[in-house]
Amino acid sequence: MRVAIQGTHGSFSEAAARRRWPGLETLPCREAKDVVAAVRDGRAEAGCLPIENSLIGSVTTTYDLLEEAFGDGALRLTHEILYPVHHTLMAAPGATLESIKRVLSHPVALGQCREWLARHLPDVELVSAWDTAGSAEIVAQEGNPALAAVAARHAADTHGLVPLAERIEDDPSNQTRFLTFTRSDAAALPPAKGGATRYKTSVIVLIDHKPGMLALTLQAFGVRGVNLMALQSRPERSAPWTYRFYVDVDGSTTDPRLAEALEEVEALAARVVVLGSYEAWIEGSRLSAPPPTPAHYTKKPDVPLVDRKRAPEGTRVEVRHVVFGGEAPVLIAGPCSVESEAMILETADAIAKTGGDMLRGGAYKPRTSPYDFQGLGVKGLRYLADARERTGLPVVTEVLSWEEVAVVAHFADMLQIGARNMQNFTLLRAASRSGKPILLKRGAGATIEEWLMAAEYILAEGNPNVVLCERGIRTFERATRHTLDLNAVVLVRQRTHLPVIVDPSHAAGLRSLVVPLGLGSLAAGACGLLVEVHPDPDRAMSDGAQSLDLPMFAELVRRVYPGKEPRSRLAV
Ligand code: PEP
Ligand code: MN
């Protein structure tokens, strides 16, 4: 097999290509565009070009070639190669560091040795050449002791030069990423030896100059769990201040998630060029676990995933050390909203001391009126995480929209899908993909069947850790906020293997009902309770009327665990 390379024999491109295919023949080319031409007109079966260096970043000459070279679909990327790059300063026999006045090399190589050269040869002239090995050849031909080249160690032997200093690159981890390509109609190249094969895909995207377009384009990948590996922008030469974006993602276009993401990007962008899906170099790459296949691509199961028949003994859901569906009921407690740092820390301390198992608190609040307090957002999430650090209580908090799943999942141990969002299927899918356990509240107007199907969305998307929460439904009765549906608790436990808890606070809307309803729920088979607790309920920023004060919460704990001392979880 013949592979076109930029540079001559002994160049890093040649060594890199041989790292993948040891026996190959190389066709040296002067410039990157000559490598492309050699493959297009059939003088070589494949081409190999450097695309990125770990010290100095992108090889822009390669990037700038890609659209023209690949735009008509005649070429496709096939492999990625990572190659460790160590540089040697070499000169003709008899030369010393003191005799050197000019150093020749490829500008990329000089860039990787800038600090060493500045320190050891501060006064020399640095001269750009077309190739590292080519510079060694020039130095050998000239035989002048004032000349030196920066190239790979073996180039010194090839050209009869002596190494004056080795490993002069500015960081020992220095490496370059190369990409190989063939004509699109060519047969597949031999695969790498052994090991699992992983793919990356590179595309060029041209987007319109409109607010949010780049974010929208990248979201197409992110929301489907496709990992973005690199993003590079290069100026559009004939249209100043507009850019092409080069996107590298994990996976192959044969993965349904990536194919779907690309379809969306193609619909959004002014132009998309798919450069190809290519075999990734696994060792040293930061590849992530491939995302599970999306639920809507999988066959409908004969028995729904939520069905009790699938796990007659019942499923346990673990949130850190807390187990839903285990022997003991789980008590989740906390304010409706996180109101301030001091307030959530004080409440969390009291809940931990009294014997709560988990901390709740809304940072993103679904309020009926847009003028009401909407929550502290990410600051509230941070305070919750601080409260967890102090008390050891795992944190559950509501996520309102799919855009916020990533940030909420970053701070919380469990994501709450609220009653208003129970059938927000995009949110259910995104929450599932976060991998965090999900607390799925029943919608106030949702049937049991609709509730279970909402849970099915989460399971079908690949996340098995769902806890259901009955929180009251809307009936004709106005004396209470909602009506606690204990029928549902009993029936749902018969229908599904998922753990079921009850939120008596939102069901009743009145604090005096919360303890009796909570105890009734446990008697009916709920495996836990979620209650709103506030140190000063009458001054709460939301849901004060239904919030227990601290003595009332202590009373609930005593009645759930009669005769037992409050369980203290405070680390101090
Ligand atoms: C809450 O838990 O604060 C909340 C808003 O609950 P729900 O979605 O049940 O109304
Ligand atoms: Mn509330």
Residue whose CA is at the smallest distance from ligand 1 atom 1: 336
| Ligand 1 pocket residue status of 220, Cβ below 6 Å | no
Identify whether 293 is a catalytic site residue: no
Ligand nearest to the CA of 507: 1
Q: What is the Cα–Cα distance from 179 to 82, expressed in whole angstroms?
A: 9
pLDDT in tens, 146-199: 999 999 998 999 899 999 999 999 999 999 999 999 999 988 776 656 567 889
Using most ligand atoms within 8 A of CB, pick from 339, 374, 408, 416 the residue to mutate for ligand 1.
416
For 233, 242, 247, the CA distances from 238, given in Å and listed in that order, are 15, 9, 21
- pLDDT exceeds cutoff 50 at 571: no
pLDDT reported for residue 194: 58
> Per-residue pLDDT averaged across 73-100, rounded?
95
Of the listed 12, 70, 178, 324, which one is catalytic?
178
Sign of CA dihedral 74, 78, 80, 86: negative
pLDDT reported for residue 8: 85
Strand partners, 91: 148, 162
pLDDT reported for residue 572: 39
When comparing pLDDT for 500 and 56, which is higher?
Answer: 500
| Ligand 1 pocket residue status of 506, Cβ below 6 Å | yes
Identify whether 88 is a catalytic site residue: no
pLDDT reported for residue 125: 96
313 pLDDT band, cuts 50/70/90, is very high
pLDDT reported for residue 195: 60
Of the listed 26, 176, 201, 397, which one is catalytic?
176
- DSSP-derived secondary structure letter, 486: H
* Listed range (15-19, 444-448, 530-534) with the worst mean pLDDT: 15-19
Nearest atom in ligand 1 to 337's CA: 3
**HSE-up of 537 (CA within 13 Å, CB side)?**
20
Q: What is the Cα–Cα distance from 85 to 13, expressed in whole angstroms?
A: 10
| Ligand 1 pocket residue status of 441, Cβ below 6 Å | yes
Q: Which of 496, 509, 500, 505 is nearest to 553 (CA)?
A: 505
| Ligand 1 pocket residue status of 106, Cβ below 6 Å | no
Nearest atom in ligand 1 to 416's CA: 2
pLDDT in tens, 267-306: 999 999 999 999 999 887 777 777 667 666 778 899 999 9
Nearest atom in ligand 1 to 542's CA: 3
Query: Which residue segments constitute the domains of the chain, with CATH numbers given?
Result: 1-84+174-190 (3.40.190.10), 86-166 (3.40.190.10), 191-281 (3.30.70.260), 314-560 (3.20.20.70)
> Per-residue pLDDT averaged across 478-503, rounded?
98
For 153, 175, 207, the CA distances from 172, given in Å and listed in that order, are 15, 9, 38
> Per-residue pLDDT averaged across 208-214, rounded?
90
Residue whose CA is at the smallest distance from ligand 1 atom 9: 419
